[in-house]
Amino acid sequence: MNVAAAAPAAVLALVAAAVAPRRLTCLMAAAAAAVAALRPASDVFPGALQVWSLMAALALGLAASALEQAVDTFGSASRVRVAGTAAVAGAVCVLTLIAADGGRILRWRFGLGAGATRLELPGAALVLGLALLVTLAGTLATAAHLLARAPEGYRAGRIGQSLLVLGAGLGALGVAVVAGQGLARSPDAMAAGARHLAAMILGAGVLALALVRVLAAPASAAVTETGAARSQRMLGVAAAAAMVAVAAAGIEGWRAEGTYATATLARTSSAALLGLVAVQPTRLALARTGLFVLGLLAALAAAR
Amino acid sequence: MSLLAWRGLTATCGLLLAAALHPAWPAALHPPLVTISALALLLVISLLVGARDPGERLVGAGALAVALALGYDGLRGHRGQLTLEVGQGTQSFEEDGPEGRSLGLRPLGFGAFLERVDADGGATLKVEKGPAIAVRPGHAASYGGFRIGASGRAEAGEPAALRLAVAGPQGSTVVEVRGGAPVEADGLQIAVEQYFPDFALDATQQPYSRSSEPRNPAALLRVTRGTQSWRVFVIRAMPGIHRPAGLDRVLTLTDVVVSEAVRLRVSREPAAPVALAGVALMALGLAWGARPA
Band (pLDDT 50/70/90 cuts) for residue A79 is: low
B269 pLDDT above the threshold of 90: yes
| Predicted confidence (pLDDT) at residue B157 exceeds the cutoff of 70 | no
pLDDT, tens digit (0-9, with 9 covering 90-100), for B158-174 = 666 888 888 888 788 88
ipTM of the modeled complex:
0.79
Query: What is the arithmetic mean of pLDDT over B46-67?
Result: 94
Output the pLDDT for position B201.
87
Contacts of B147 in chain A (CB under 8 A): 254, 258-259
DSSP-assigned states of every residue in B48-106: HHT--SHHHHHHHHHHHHHHHHHHHHHHH-EEEEEEEETT-EEEEEEEE-TTS-EEEEE
Q: Is pLDDT of B119 > 80?
A: no
From A3's Cα to the closest Cα of chain B, the distance in A is: 16
Mean pLDDT check: name the lowest of A34-43, B5-14, B105-114: A34-43
Quote the mean pLDDT of chain B. 88
pLDDT digits (tens, 9 = 90+) for B190-219: 988 888 888 888 888 888 888 777 788 899
Chain B nearest C-alpha distance from A244 (Å): 6
- At position A209, the amino acid (one-letter code) is L
pLDDT tens digit sequence for A116-153: 778 899 889 999 999 999 999 999 999 988 888 777 66
Q: Is the pLDDT of residue B95 over 80?
A: yes
Distance CA B151, CA A135 (A): 45
Name the pTM for this structure. Answer: 0.76
Q: Is residue A296 pLDDT above 80, yes or no?
A: yes
Residues 264-283 of B with CB under 8 A from A: 265-267, 269, 272, 275-276, 279-280, 282-283
Pairing of strands B250-257, B161-168: antiparallel
Range among A52-56, B154-158, B207-211 rated most confident: A52-56
- Strands (DSSP E) found in A82-188: 111-112, 119-120
Asked whether the beta carbons of residue A258 and residue B276 sit closer than 8 angstroms, the reply is no
Q: Which of B2, B7, B15 would best serve as a mutation to test chain A binding (most A beta carbons within 10 A)?
A: B15
For chain A, the straight-line distance linking the first and the last C-alpha, in angstroms and rounded, comes to: 14
Inter-chain residue contact B139 with A279, CB threshold 8 Å = no
**Model pLDDT for residues A164-219, shown as the tens digit of each residue:** 999 999 999 999 999 888 888 888 888 888 889 999 999 999 999 888 877 765 54
pLDDT for the residue A78:
63
CB pairs below 8 Å between A and B: how many?
A: 132
Given a cut of 90, is residue A3 above it in pLDDT? Answer: no
**A63-75 mean pLDDT:** 83
How distant is the Cα of A248 from the closest Cα of chain B, in angstroms? Answer: 9
At residue A80, the pLDDT reads 64
Distance CA B225, CA B243 (A): 15
